[in-house]
Amino acid sequence: MSVLLLFLLLAPHSEPLSVGDGKPFARIEDAVKAAHTGDEIDVYPKASGYDGTAVLVRTPGLRFVGKLEKIGLDGTGFEYSGSGNMPRAIFQIDPGADGVTIENFELKNAHNRSFNGAGVRINQADRVTVRNCDIHGNDMGIMSNGIDGNPHAGEDQLIDHCAVHGNGNSGNPGYNHNLYLGGTSVTVQFCTIDHSLTGHNLKSRAHFTLVKYCAISSSSNRELDFVEAWDTRRPNSNAVLIGNVIQKATDSSGNRTVIHFGQENGRRDGAIFLINNTIKTPYVSAVLDLSAPTVSARLVNNVIENTDQAKPILAGIENGASLSKLSGGYNVISPAYSIEGTLIDPQTLFTDPRRNQSAGRGRKPLPFPPGRASYTDGSGNRVPAELKYFHSPTAGWQKVSAPQIGAGD
């Protein structure tokens, strides 16, 4: 970051630019034209609503905030073409517009003829945050990307406390997802991600992806799909899942694998870490598919449950992947699953999910403490991982005061 940009971001800002009935600006697009680096744009309810909103952001440090209520932005009937100065999303953050925040909006019904109109598109920008947004009914919920040859494009994306659901398009089934992520690094936390219409709930081509404390369920295809891009040829192109509740629907008509990590046509060199997750599936299809000779997996402190199949698959392998690169311990795994060929520790393996330690919820504690877990980030640094929240279906995410296995119900 240049000294000038740092000064501008830290300097005292002017009063927020206000949008809405009786405000200086009638549309968000007009406020963006008047905004300077670091400005806040407050969006208030408008009696006629906000239709066809198409915000192209090229100014760094802007903060868009829905005020008084979650502000609905509806793209119905608008062509989010992505050509010229027309964005491919309701909010599109272009290269150089680093440090942008989008908070407290409902983003819906963005479509185009390419079937990839999105609620938000992060286009090579760094440190973009999408927080407390409800994103649904678009071709894509959130799209992000880096740039080939640049290992620092699309860094430190954050998707926080969002509901992303019901995105997809039958006009190009399987190629539009609730989240379709790329770039250098992205964190998705405290989100509900469910009911993708045609593709995956979360697909990522990012060099490093961290997903923690999310409820992910009922995808039309895989719940999570981590594949390759230019940047994944580098070592430590890792994915980390911590404290998530992941569940396949009983009526899934597409790919019934829960998680895929590897490659489609290129190369991925990295590891996937599953730590303190609760994963439930009724299908014989694999909980985790590995699909490259240069990938590995580590499972620690997870609950993996399947009570419907006699011989379900814990891990599938293809494209030169090896079960011997799947390791871990302190997991509670349904007895129908076999760990043969893996390096999962049988001495710390329990097969009854009902014995998962859950303080205050009437379950018996395990006779051993959960294992210490850590993961490797995208820079090769070792990071300790400790479950800090568990999920209650009635109360949501609650702080945890004792070691756990799994992430709740």
pLDDT in tens, 280-311: 999 999 999 999 999 999 999 999 999 999 99
Q: Say whether both 14 and 80 belong to one domain.
A: yes
99 with 153: CB under 8 angstroms?
Answer: no
Q: Which residues of 340-358 are buried (b: 16+ CB within 10 A; e: fewer)?
A: eebebbeebbbeebebbbb
Q: How many CB atoms lie within 10 A of CB 47?
A: 6
Give the whole-angstrom CA distance, residue 116 versus residue 110: 8
Q: Say whether both 177 and 219 belong to one domain.
A: no
Q: Say whether both 90 and 214 belong to one domain.
A: no
Q: Say whether both 176 and 217 belong to one domain.
A: no
Q: Say whether both 125 and 211 belong to one domain.
A: no
Q: Name the token pair of 36.
A: 């300077």
Q: Say whether both 268 and 383 belong to one domain.
A: yes
pLDDT, position 253: 83
Q: Say whether both 263 and 362 belong to one domain.
A: yes
Q: Say whether both 14 and 60 belong to one domain.
A: yes
Could you tell me where the DSSP H helices lie in 28-185? 28-34
Domain termination residue (choose one: 194, 218, 243): 194
Q: Say whether both 167 and 274 belong to one domain.
A: no
Give the whole-angstrom CA distance, residue 233 versus residue 250: 36
CA nearest to 259, candidates 217, 300, 198, 231: 217
Q: Say whether both 331 and 379 belong to one domain.
A: yes
Q: What is the DSSP letter of 4?
A: H
CA nearest to 270, candidates 313, 309, 238, 225: 238
pLDDT, position 403: 84
Domain termination residue (choose one: 194, 210, 236): 194
Domain count within the chain: 2
Q: What is the DSSP letter of 70?
A: P
Domain termination residue (choose one: 194, 216, 242): 194
167 with 190: CB under 8 angstroms?
Answer: no
In three-state secondary structure terms, 377 is coil
């580590």: which residue's tokens? 298
With DSSP H G I counted as helix, E B as strand and the rest as coil, what are the percentages for the chain, rounded to 5? 5, 35, 55
pLDDT, position 366: 55
Q: Say whether both 188 and 327 belong to one domain.
A: no
Full domain range(s) for residue 59: 1-194
Give the whole-angstrom CA distance, residue 211 versus residue 243: 9
Residue ranges in the chain modelled with pLDDT below 70? 1-13, 353-368
pTM over 0.85: yes
Where does 114-207 show beta strands of DSSP type E?
A: 118-123, 129-131, 134-136, 140-145, 157-160, 163-165, 179-181, 185-189, 192-194, 202-204
pLDDT, position 357: 39
Q: Say whether both 188 and 238 belong to one domain.
A: no
